[in-house]
Homo-oligomer: A and B are copies of this chain.
């Protein structure tokens, strides 16, 4: 089943109208253990997904693994950026899909596609992704909005979930596949999301606006003064 699972001949891509997002165990303690990518980028990417879901009105379900212990609380940006997100407390189950309330919440969205990110990647993201494939969902795993303890662990997990029929995505691809076009009224809000994923984009915007202002305002170059 290493082809994309449960697509039955459809193109394996996100349909924003038919997708729910699961953000699992993005907790301040677990983030200290992330070594496969800069933690700041993970934090930015996970937050970007939450913002994206809000922009595109995609339902979000969150959960945390024993946040009262050393794993720590969910990073606050998740719910700040997705105020509509529904938090489901577990009872110690490591695989969120083993928690009946969580699965029920997913089912209640009525969506057939799941966009999943979680920390630790090989556990909190991979276990529910593989389980959801078995239950018939089309699953998109956002590998770089998940984090784990080594680059090698990330690569192993990528291979495992692809083998299981999960579609792997990076954060930028999720944003763009949901956005679809720049010809929409909320395009600027989407552009804002990209600046977190591509920090050099903010520089582009700053330079672009200044270059145009120089023309508009007829500014002289400093090196041509005096």
Contact = CB atoms under 8 A, between A and B. Distances in A.
Interface of A: 1-4, 11-13, 28-29, 31-33, 36-41, 43, 64-73, 75-76, 89-95, 98, 120, 122-123, 126-127, 130-131, 133-134, 143-144, 148-160, 162-165, 167-173, 176-177, 179-184, 187, 197-201, 203-208, 210-212, 214-216, 219-226
Contacts of A144: 150, 152-153, 156
A199 B154 contact: no
A181 B223 contact: yes
B203 A72 contact: yes
Contact of A13 (B3, B38, B130, B173): B130
Contact of A205 (B31, B43, B70): B70
B179 A94 contact: yes
Q: Which of A39, A64, A182, A201 lies at the interface centre, i.e. has the most chain B CB atoms within 10 A of its CB?
A: A182
Contact of A177 (B43, B127, B208, B210): B127
A226 B176 contact: no
Copy number in the complex reads 8
A95 B177 CA distance: 8
A103 B169 CA distance: 24
Contacts of A4: 1, 163-164
Contacts of A67: 210, 222
A10 to B, nearest CB: 8
User: Sorted from nearest, which 10 A-B pairs have the closest CB atoms?
Assistant: A92-B223, A92-B183, A182-B223, A92-B182, A28-B206, A211-B211, A122-B173, A72-B207, A153-B170, A70-B204
Contact of A182 (B72, B94, B126, B150): B94
Contact of A204 (B154, B172, B197, B207): B207
Nearest to A166: B163
A102 B93 CA distance: 36
Instruction: Identify which of A3, A67, A173 gathers the most chain B CB atoms within 10 Å of its CB.
Output: A173
A12 B224 contact: no
A151 B41 CA distance: 13
Residue from the set A71, A148, A170 with the largest chain B CB neighbour count within 10 Å: A170
